[in-house]
Amino acid sequence: MNYPVWQLDGAGGGLLIALMAIFHVYVAHFAVGGGLFLVMTEMKGIRENNQAIIDFVRRHTKFFLLLTMVAGGMTGVGIWFTISLLNPAATSKLIHLFVFAWGIEWVFFTAEILSLFIYYYTFGRMDNRNHVIIGWIYFGCAWLSLFVINGIIDFMLTPGAWLQNNNFWSALFNPTFWPALFFRSFLAFMLAGLYGFLTAVNLKDVVLRVRMVRYCALWLIAPFLLFLGSAWWYRAALPPELQVLIFERMPEIKPYLDAFIILGPMLMLGGLIMAIRMPQSITRPIAAVMLVLGLLYMGSFEFIREAGRRPYIIRDHMYSTSILKKDMELIQQNGFLQEAKWVSSREVTRDNMMTAGRELFNNLCLPCHSVGGPLNDIRKVTGNYTPRGLEAKIGGIHNFSPYMPPFAGSGLERKALAYYIAYGLNNRRDRMDDVAIREIGDEEIPAFNGESDKYVLLAWSDMGMKSYTDASGSWMILPPGGTINAQLIERGETPDVIVDGVTISYAVDPEFSDPAQQVDFWQNAAALYDREIAPNTGLSGNGLTGVMKPGEEWFTVSLLPVVPYTAERRYMPYPAFTVTAVSSAGEVLAATRVVAPVATEMGCQICHGGHWAVDNRAGLSVETAENILAAHDRISGTNLQGLADNNMPVLCNCCHADSSQDAPGNKEQLNLSAAIHGFHANFLGERGAMYCVMCHPADSGGATRSFRGIHRGLGLNCTYCHGEIEDHAISLLKAEHEQGKERAAVLLGNIRPANFESVDAVVPRRPWVNQPDCLDCHEGFQAPEVDTTFNRWTAGEEDLYRNRTDESGRLRCAACHGSPHAVYPAMNPYSPYRDVLQPMQYQGQFYPIGSNMNCKVCHTIDMEYEMHHPNMLREFRNQ
Amino acid sequence: MDPSALIPTPDTLPVSWGWFELLLIITLFLHIILMNVMLGTGIIALVNHFRGGPDSEPLTREIAGKLPFAIAFTVNFGVAPLLFVQVLYGHFFYTSSVLMANFWLFVIAFLVSGYYMAYIYDYKYDALQGARVPVLGYTVFALVAIAFFMTNNFTLAQVPETWTRYFDSPTGFLLNLGDPILFPRLLHMITAAIAVGGMSIALYYELKRRRGDEEAARWVRHGCSWFGYATIANFGFGFWFYGMLPEQVRNSSTLAGGMIGVLLLAGVILAALSIIYSLRGKILPAMYTVLPTILIMILIRDLVRAAYLRPYFSLSDLEVVSQHSPMVVFLIIFLGGLLLNYWMFKLAWQVIGNREVRS
């Protein structure tokens, strides 16, 4: 932000520095180890009085000089040039902090050049003693160059005490200085043998060639154990959190770690093979291949070291984006564009989203990502995301991808960046407008004659907002399973709730009667639940037609296998059932219709890629589902994708308890609700209800719009009752933490409460048990004085709205008021009547049963006593 | 957009800026001399291939043998002033580098390829024959290209008012071609290099002549001619360069402008003397007068940069967070390095010319 950014695009993502640095480092280590090789081999030749060996050294010196002095030396300068272009702020810091270290290194560099020239050009012209001294001077200076540079490089990884004391010596002799010095020194000696092969295999004298090749093999192999020891020391010297980061939490490093582990023994094996007497036609290509393997070996190590530093360029001091750690909070507060020097947009507006987004991208993403290039291509890692998903991802990515820095900008800047990446780089064409709802034509409202009918049949779904996840071949979180309840009331001045001697049957509308044709649940049910489940049958054995089970005061049929797809495979999330009460004599006493909402509009694909599976508006695609498994595997170290690939789809509640499905899960894992909300709150915070509806089917422009009760009409949204996702997640995680689950503490550590001073202020709650209570706002059943409730929970399941009864204890609240999220008067997007079938049937109006002084529906006379709950005998308030 | 708002905030210094200024001047002086020898002798050799025919082979062969050394030490001695200039002016220099990033990185490509070609020119001198011109020609071209990009970068660094072009072209393809001093400055530097290259040839052969090489006198004259006429030509480029400097820089009523004027006068006098000496074949007096001239020109260069940046920045603005011990260690090692290099050089000098002791 202090400097302009070189807009590299395809060549970005560190490609230039990787190419320059890996080559240079490979040659530079040879320049050190090779120096020792030269002088020691020369001494061997002198000691043995063997001119052939000395001639070999002379030839090797020429190769050495041409390689190290020209390609090595110049690419060393090239690294300097390159880093100053890619990260001038960090370069400036390293130059200013280490100016005298660089100066010292330059002195050694000068002596290196002079001594190497002298060494080569005085071969055979200078007496042995002095010539060997010059050789030792060369090696000494080369190693001392390494000594200094090693300090600077490792400072970037482990700045150690410098962070507190700003002392040059603390910076140079940082915590990994010594192990890294030994590590690099032994590596340099090994490389000397590797490079030595190149000259040795070309010797004409067979005896000498075999001898020198074996000598080079010894150089390669002998330091290996010491090298391994120093590698272990190097690792041990890393701060513990860095060890965890590099070796456990960065799967992106794994290929390089694997390469480093595999290539070492391969080189050793190659060294042993080279020691075998073989013709030149074999040794020459082996030598060349081994040199390439050595380059890969070096490259994999450098990648590990560089990646381990992320998201910093100077660990705990400066991020890869050149932003100082100490400035991050200020930038997040004021916005990046306000604080940066080299931007033309100072704020994000509706008109400059693309321009501002590009400037944010240049500054905050380009330092590590290319656009369409071979390294860290931004398109590959963001192509799956819609702008909304990307915006969410950017906000929380640092919590789960520790190599990513926190987003350095405001909420609006995050939006602009996501907009630019999605539309400017990925050319996405996401649907921008609302889903066109296909309304139901003529809604059939059952007949009721208030004068002659003797019974009122009330029916309702347990849940007004219910989801089912398809793609069950991959995983299953919410199986099909709607529950319908019914109460039969015998009308009269003193009505009675009838259960005995009555049968209540139910039947789904014909177009929903064969869900097995629409979803693959039954094909995977056996694998998921370890038992056969007949097609079109729910988990409790119920089909889509049948008889409801009588209880003490009401009838229930649970886990109905209803899905939101019509026979024509159109998305329709509000299937209806006809419910009929029949006397033991077979007389139809009453009939009604009830909606059984079920949605598959979970917007996983917003972030996880893929697409809507059905009708471009709903349904979880296999592609999305697999991406989710991959993410789970990556973050939690599982192998769920492997299981799914082997026809073993994953049932989420096997591990994550879900009391709504009576699934005990694994006691050590977070329950499902805490895990999902706790994880996603890291990404979806600070955006209110807009992001609740990314997963829950209540988007006001979506295909379901299942928040449709009176509270929606009054302008409330999810957060009024359930809180912001941060607070919602904290409440769930705290309850889990109290159960001793450590993962809860990890997730809690990343989430900042939205409406509370601290996490301590949020009251823990269990999902599906501790919920907001209607009476929190409607205190004493009166008009509410507040419109929000959070942190006051129902004590138990029996206190939930869907389970509660009126003050008589006989009528369920939902029987008269409708399902949660669809309480009367509800407005269903598909039909104005679908959610108010019984109010319309019995009262000819949308309001709760009996409201607006409609006591006659059941009582047949007007009532003066508020027996069901106080404040009910009045005109309906919100007409 | 206010260009001063674009200037990055500099990092702090461990010791006062004066130390770095001193180190910058000293090391740049050494670098410029080596660079002049490298580029100047390269150009002279190339011209001799065109004009001199077989007669010039003794000279071009000598240059071929020395060019890789010259490149190696020029780069090496370029590292130090590049380090110190980054310490003092890094926030300007890095910015201009990014603005012309593609070209700036090409410096490395030209350097590596030009360097290798110089080795080919040396090791394969006899075998190359007619290919000497393209091989050396490429090296000279690469070195001149580097000079062009260097001049672009260092001039671009001192004109922040032009940096706003970045917002229309952030891909690192900007140069400073609109700056009227760019080409006179480049030509002034290249011509100076030719002159000093000529002088280095004259000096080299003067030493040979004193050792009894009868052929050497010819090349002493040859080198002196190159030096003398190139320096005369450089008066023209120099005054053109001076004339193109903005008024704020040349204004003699300011301290910097006055100092530039005085130093320029001294430089002109010394350069004129060096021409006279060289054309009379007196190479050592010519050298004694031209070395201070180079130092003066480096001082002027520094003052000009300070004058350019005056509206935005002064070296005294740099904040110091003192820590002297690293500098002390550096100076000790620097002195140790000088002694070591001197010892090695002396040792090498003694054996040069000796017959091989190992058969």
Neighboring chain B residues of A111 at a CB cutoff of 8 Å: 337, 340-341, 344
Q: Is B65 on the interface with A (CB under 8 A)?
A: no
Q: Alpha-carbon distance A597 to A467, whole Å?
A: 8
Q: Choose among A471, A486, A649: nearest CA to A560.
A: A486
Q: Choose among A849, A835, A818, A817: nearest CA to A448.
A: A849
Q: Alpha-carbon distance A155 to A168, whole Å?
A: 10
Q: Alpha-carbon distance A467 to A469, whole Å?
A: 7
Q: Alpha-carbon distance A589 to A98, whole Å?
A: 92
Per-residue pLDDT at A344: 94
Q: Alpha-carbon distance B314 to B310, whole Å?
A: 6
Is the confidence at residue B241, as pLDDT, over 70?
A: yes
Q: Could you report the per-residue pLDDT of A529-559, keeping only the tens digit for each?
A: 999 999 999 999 999 999 999 998 999 999 9
Q: Is B316 on the interface with A (CB under 8 A)?
A: no
Burial class (CB in 10 A: 0-12, 13-18, 19+), B5: exposed
**Of residues A6, A81, A137, nearest to B107 (C-beta):** A81
Instruction: Tell me which residues of chain B, numbers 107 to 136, contact chain A at a CB-CB cutoff of 8 Å.
Output: 107-108, 111-112, 115-116, 119
8 A C-beta contact, residue A586 and residue A535:
no
Burial class (CB in 10 A: 0-12, 13-18, 19+), A268: middle
Per-residue pLDDT at B357: 38
Q: Could you report the per-residue pLDDT of A116-170, keeping only the tens digit for each?
A: 999 999 998 899 999 999 999 999 999 999 999 999 999 999 999 999 999 999 9
- Chain centre distance of CA B227: 16
8 A C-beta contact, residue A807 and residue A738:
no
Q: Choose among A617, A649, A609: nearest CA to A520.
A: A649
**A568 φ, ψ to 5°?**
-90, 10
Q: Alpha-carbon distance A769 to A671, whole Å?
A: 13
Q: Alpha-carbon distance A121 to A141, whole Å?
A: 18
Q: Could you report the per-residue pLDDT of A407-439, keeping only the tens digit for each?
A: 999 999 999 999 999 999 999 988 778 999 999
Record the pTM: 0.88
**Which helix (H) or strand (E) element contains residue B73?**
helix B57-99
Beta bridge mates, A313: none
For chain B, what is the mean pLDDT? 94
Distance from CA of A101 to the nearest CA of B (A): 7
Neighboring chain B residues of A16 at a CB cutoff of 8 Å: 105
Instruction: Tell me which residues of chain A, numbers 650 to 709, contact chain B at a CB-CB cutoff of 8 Å.
Output: none
> What does the block give as tokens for A677?
């909300």
**Across A840-847, average pLDDT:** 95
8 A C-beta contact, residue A675 and residue A654:
no
Sign of the dihedral defined by the CA atoms of residues B324, B327, B331, B333, in that order: positive
Neighboring chain B residues of A108 at a CB cutoff of 8 Å: 337
Q: Where are the strands (E) in chain B, listed by range? A: none
Distance from CA of A230 to the nearest CA of B (A): 28
Cα Rg of chain B (Å, integer): 22
CB contact under 8 A, B351 and A96: no
CB contact under 8 A, B14 and A99: yes
Per-residue pLDDT at A200: 94
The rounded percent of chain B whose pLDDT value lies above 90 is 88
Q: Choose among B145, B147, B146, B160: nearest CA to B96.
A: B160
Distance from CA of A86 to the nearest CA of B (A): 8
**Of residues B8, B323, B336, nearest to A2 (C-beta):** B8
The number of residues in chain B equals 359
- Which amino acid belongs to residue B66? K
**Of residues A104, A107, A115, nearest to B344 (C-beta):** A115
Is the confidence at residue B359, as pLDDT, over 60?
A: no
Is the confidence at residue A375, as pLDDT, over 50?
A: yes
Q: Is B86 on the interface with A (CB under 8 A)?
A: yes
**Across A11-39, average pLDDT:** 93
Q: Alpha-carbon distance B122 to B72, whole Å?
A: 14
Q: Choose among A597, A573, A562, A598: nearest CA to A438.
A: A573
With CA atoms as reference, the chain A residue closest to B101 would be A85
DSSP tally for chain A: helices H, then strands E: 34, 15
Q: Choose among A240, A83, A96: nearest CA to A158.
A: A240
Q: Alpha-carbon distance B146 to B71, whole Å?
A: 12
CB contact under 8 A, B95 and A74: no
Per-residue pLDDT at A738: 95
**Across A867-878, average pLDDT:** 90
**Which helix (H) or strand (E) element contains residue A419?**
helix A411-419
8 A C-beta contact, residue A724 and residue A755:
yes
Per-residue pLDDT at B354: 52
Q: Could you report the per-residue pLDDT of B192-216, keeping only the tens digit for each?
A: 999 999 999 999 999 999 988 888 9
Q: Could you report the per-residue pLDDT of B47-81, keeping only the tens digit for each?
A: 999 887 788 899 999 999 999 999 999 999 999 99
C-alpha pair distances (Å), A179 with each of A24, A183, A384, A521: 21, 6, 42, 57
**Of residues B83, B172, B340, nearest to A6 (C-beta):** B172
Distance from CA of B242 to the nearest CA of A (A): 30
**Across A829-841, average pLDDT:** 96
Write down the domain spans for chain B.
3-224
8 A C-beta contact, residue B9 and residue B59:
no
Q: Could you report the per-residue pLDDT of A749-795, keeping only the tens digit for each?
A: 889 999 999 999 999 999 999 999 999 999 999 999 998 989 999 99
The rounded percent of chain B whose pLDDT value lies above 70 is 98
Neighboring chain B residues of A151 at a CB cutoff of 8 Å: none
> What does the block give as tokens for A143?
């190693």
Interface predicted TM-score of the whole assembly (ipTM), two decimals: 0.95
**Across A573-601, average pLDDT:** 97
Instruction: Tell me which residues of chain A, numbers 29 to 88, contact chain B at a CB-CB cutoff of 8 Å.
Output: 51, 54, 66, 69-71, 73-75, 77-78, 80-82, 84-85, 88
Per-residue pLDDT at A689: 83
Least confident window among A48-62, A359-373, A422-436, B344-358: B344-358
Neighboring chain A residues of B7 at a CB cutoff of 8 Å: 341
CB contact under 8 A, A100 and B330: yes
Q: Alpha-carbon distance A654 to A673, whole Å?
A: 13
Neighboring chain A residues of B108 at a CB cutoff of 8 Å: 20, 74-75, 77-78, 81-82
Burial class (CB in 10 A: 0-12, 13-18, 19+), B356: exposed
3-state secondary structure A252-311: HHHHHHHHHHHHHHHHHHHHHHHCCCCCHHHHHHHHHHHHHHHHHHHHHHHHHHHHHHCC
